[in-house]
Structure formats: C-alpha cells, structure tokens
Structure 1
Amino acid sequence: MTDEATPHADSSEERADLSHLVRERMAENRISLRALAAACIDPEDRDTGPLWTRGTLGNLLAGERVKPPRLPELRALAAGLRVPLRVIQDAAAAQFFGMDSVYSEDAQVRAMVHGFEDLSPEDRRKVLAIIETFRQS
C-alpha cells in the first residue's frame, strides 16, 4: 500500500475512525507498528505477504493522508488487528468517504449512509425503516 495523498469526500470534516480503531487495537493487543505490519497478511492470499508497511500504518496513526485501502488490505488489517472485517470496513468507510454504517436490528443488513449521524431523528428512523424492509425481504 502506498502513502499517496487522496482527497477525502468532504475535507471540511476530517474523520479518523480507522486511525482510532488501529490505535485502540494496538494498545489492547500490546502490539508494535512493526509487529502489526508483519501481521497484516490477507487471509485469502497469504502468498502476497504483508500488505501494510510500518510507514503507512505510522502515517495513518499520525493523521497523515494515506491512500484508501482496497479489500485485500482491509482483510489484512482485520487479520493483523484480530477484528472482524466488517469492523475495519465500517471504520475505513467513515474515515475515507464520510459514510456511516447503519445496520438492521439483527445486523444482517448494512447500509452505508453519508452523514447518518447528522440526520434528524425522523430521517434516521426513515433510513432504519428502509433497512428493515430489506431485512424482511
């Protein structure tokens, strides 16, 4: 993964959901940047080796702009941090694209909604009703 600068969808509202998640999990697991980078191997393609460098992870933690990760990189980071892929995907979607993950009551249906947290309570209920409709289909 490279450290290329990539503009956020809305640069006026910088989010750091993935950065915070990585920092928290590193502390919980008592793992260094070097160890995390070595552990970030895509479980679906172990032959490619680690997909995150210590430098890229350091930049992510420092709030520097990094290129949004692709699915193999997200799987590798999930493996390295020992969290479900969905958790990493949600944090990356929030940080890089300003998208909030909204789930059905049973967590079987997920929708990505831009600015869900900024919606009025009534509009949030409408979004949740739509998600529940898909769950019941």
Structure 2
Amino acid sequence: MAQADGERTDLSDLVRQRKEELGLSFRALADACVDPERPEKGALWGRSTLDTLTKGGQIKPPTAEKLRALAAGLRLPLSEVREAAGGQYWGVDTLRTEDRKVRAFIRNFEELSPADQEKVWALMEAHRPVRDQD
C-alpha cells in the first residue's frame, strides 16, 4: 500500500476498491458520504476530492466526522476506514492477534527489523485475555 515514492496509499486503495465493488460513481459515493452522527450537515465529501484521493493525489487528512461519513458512504465499519487513514496519513499500522482479542497500533511496523517485529507480536500474545477456567 505504497506508491513508488514511498507514500502510503491505504485509504486511497480502500476507497478505490470499495467504490468499484459497490459499482458507485464518484457523485453517488459523494452523496452517500453523510456523517450518521450529524446527518443535518449533509454530504461531507465532494466528487473531486474522492477522485483525487483514489488517484493517489494529496488531500488534507480527514477529520473524525469525515471518516464517519466516508465509512457510511462505503458501507464499511468505521474502524476499517480509520485504520486505513491512520496508515496513509500517520504511518500507523494496526496489528491484531489471530483471535482478534488483542490489538496494537504501531508506527511504521514494517520498518522494524524482523527481530523487533517478533518482540511486538510476543508482547501482544503476552497480553491476550485469559479465558475463565469454569
């Protein structure tokens, strides 16, 4: 999820792929991007901004309300959209244990050495919730 220049494109990729899956035009997607917590504000994304984003162009990092609106428009969980934005704009990777019970946010995880990546995974495993023995 990076361009040739090293810039990450997590959110751009997610929006482009999901737009295609849903068969939406940029106009239809823009119209559907309404923050469910503040619907009276209307659509928060413009067609041209979405077009720029999906082509890897630069846009301002989206606000929380714009991420909620984008998640609604894409019909995806907000967490998925937030994680993609975190990766693209702040270099934050979301890691989860296999059972998804432990989650960690690590800046530039892929840049860590394999040994350091293993340490992160071991730390996450050590913090896995213990099941009741009843």
TM category (shorter chain) comes to 0.7 to 0.9
Secondary structure of residue in 2 paired with 1:100: strand
Q: Report the CA distance between 1:104 and its aligned residue.
A: 2.8
Q: Is the 8 A contact 1:105 1:132 kept in 2?
A: no
TM-score with structure 1 length normalisation?
0.82
For structure 2, list consecutive stretches of 5 or more residues without a partner in the other structure. Answer: none
When Rg is computed on C-alpha atoms for both structures, the one with the higher figure is 2
Identify the structure with bigger relative contact order (alpha carbons < 8 Å, sequence gap 6+).
1
- Show the counterpart of 2:120: 127
Q: Report the CA distance between 1:68 and its aligned residue.
A: 0.5
Q: Aligned partners of 1:19, 1:35: CA distance in 2, in Å? A: 17
For structure 1, list consecutive stretches of 5 or more residues without a partner in the other structure. Answer: 1-11
The amino acid across from 2:59 in the alignment is V
Q: Is the 8 A contact 2:34 2:44 kept in 1?
A: yes
Paired residue total: 126
Q: Aligned partners of 1:135, 1:72: CA distance in 2, in Å? A: 32
Q: Aligned partners of 2:100, 2:33: CA distance in 1, in Å? A: 26
Q: Aligned partners of 2:118, 2:77: CA distance in 1, in Å? A: 27
- Percent of residue pairs identical: 50
- Show the counterpart of 2:90: 97
- Show the counterpart of 1:79: 72
1:75–1:135: structure 2 CA closer, same or farther, 3 Å change rule?
farther
2:102 pairs with 1:109: yes
Deviation string for 1:105-135 (max 9, x for gaps)? 3323322212212222321121122233444
Q: Aligned partners of 1:44, 1:106: CA distance in 2, in Å? A: 30
- Show the counterpart of 1:118: 111
Q: Give the 4+ runs in structure 1 shifted more than 6 A.
A: none
